[in-house]
Amino acid sequence: MAHIKAVVGEAGRKLGLRTAQRPDIAYGVKDGYLVQVASGTADGGACAVEIVRYVDASRDAAVRSAVAESPAVSKGIIKSRDIQIGDGLAIHRRRRRLFRSVDAQRVGSDVEALLASVKRACPPPPASCRLCGNTSASEPMLLNDVVDRVCPGCIERLRHDVRRASQQYDDLPLNLPLAVMAAAVTAAVAALAWAGIAVATNRMFWAVAIGSGALIGYCTTRVVGRGGIAVQGVTGVFTVISVLLGQALFLGWQVHKHAQARSLKVDWKVFTAYIPSLLWADTGSTLFALGGGLLGAYYAVKRAAKPKLEVRVETTESARLPTSPSRP
């Protein structure tokens, strides 16, 4: 990632953009259009994100076909799967190729190519607030890390909307009994799966333990329809129960096999009373299963968290000036 930041900085300087407070973002105005390069990810790999904002969303279709017909796309230099156009934004992700890095020259030409296509389909946007047209917002700025022009009044309104949306999320009714039921059913299924796989292979799999926790978290959130601390708590508790139950079932099966081989009968009532001490005695396996389950639950629960709603703004005044002498 360190490398991609340097590439973004260099490409930004070549394009005459200013570096943001985050050094992996450069933005500015080029030929009247809002332009940005930044580091990002594509399918989990680092990439350079190249953005041209033409603002007018009614030109999306025209921009889309102009980009599709551009020489860069027809020559295969820019791949259509890496392009995303909508809502007045044209975005291209320059991925690094296997064993090769993204270079600043490439990113610079990508932006030029993207800009040339946009120019053919849409005139440059007016230097005013994208939302209300107020000309006090003539300077480019970053709104949630994307280049934009929005006036202070509209930013205040956006912040207000976000606060209200956040409050509405908190006010969503939470059906806790339903969450508990969903978690309990999934926990039982996961316990049976864990024991079943352990019986079939006589081994314990880290992936299965993680999967159990993830499944419980995922299903509970889906059934309830929202996340939040209560749902996270329920998920965590039932993951622990599921893992312990799965281990107990596996131990029960082992005892059953042992008894069968000696034509003995197992007193399951007595066995049930012994389960806690048996789990305790086999601490290694229990901890192994618990660790995997909780790791899976952690990821599922993270997804069950309340979505992050925010309005982050960086204006020109707060941006750092580029320090490189190579800038014209």
Give the nearest distance from C-beta 314 to Zn ion in angstroms.
17
Give the nearest distance from C-beta 64 to Zn ion in angstroms.
27
Closest CB to Zn ion among residues 134, 166: 134
Give the nearest distance from C-beta 169 to Zn ion in angstroms.
26
What are phi and psi for residue 267, nearest 5 degrees?
A: -85, 100
- Other C-beta atoms closer than 10 Å to the C-beta of 22 total 16
Give the nearest distance from C-beta 131 to Zn ion in angstroms.
5
Residue 67 engages Zn ion in binding (rule: CB under 5 A): no
Residue 245 engages Zn ion in binding (rule: CB under 5 A): no
Binding-residue total with Zn ion (CB under 5 A): 6
Lookup result for tokens 């320059």: 94
Residue 323 burial (C-beta neighbours within 10 Å; 0-12, 13-18, 19+): exposed
Residue 132 engages Zn ion in binding (rule: CB under 5 A): yes
Closest CB to Zn ion among residues 137, 241: 137
Q: How far apart are CA 246 and CA 11, in angstroms?
A: 55
Beta bridge partners of residue 95, listed in sequence order: 47
* Interface of this chain with Zn ion, residues 140 to 179, rule: CB under 5 A: 151, 154
Give the nearest distance from C-beta 312 to Zn ion in angstroms.
17
Residue 293 burial (C-beta neighbours within 10 Å; 0-12, 13-18, 19+): buried
Q: How far apart are CA 30 and CA 88, in angstroms?
A: 16
Q: How far apart are CA 235 and CA 246, in angstroms?
A: 16
Give the nearest distance from C-beta 143 to Zn ion in angstroms.
11
Q: Checking phi first, is residue 105 left (phi over 0); if not, alpha (psi -120 to 50) or beta?
A: alpha
Task: Return the range that interacts with Zn ion (CB under 5 A); candidates 7-15, 55-63, 110-118, 126-134.
Answer: 126-134
Residue 62 burial (C-beta neighbours within 10 Å; 0-12, 13-18, 19+): middle
Closest CB to Zn ion among residues 157, 327: 157
Residue 131 engages Zn ion in binding (rule: CB under 5 A): yes
Give the nearest distance from C-beta 157 to Zn ion in angstroms.
8
Residue 129 engages Zn ion in binding (rule: CB under 5 A): yes
Task: Return the range that interacts with Zn ion (CB under 5 A); candidates 80-88, 128-136, 224-232, 254-262.
Answer: 128-136
The one among 109, 134, 254, 285 contacting Zn ion by CB under 5 A: 134
Task: Report the interface residues with Zn ion, using CB under 5 A.
Answer: 129, 131-132, 134, 151, 154
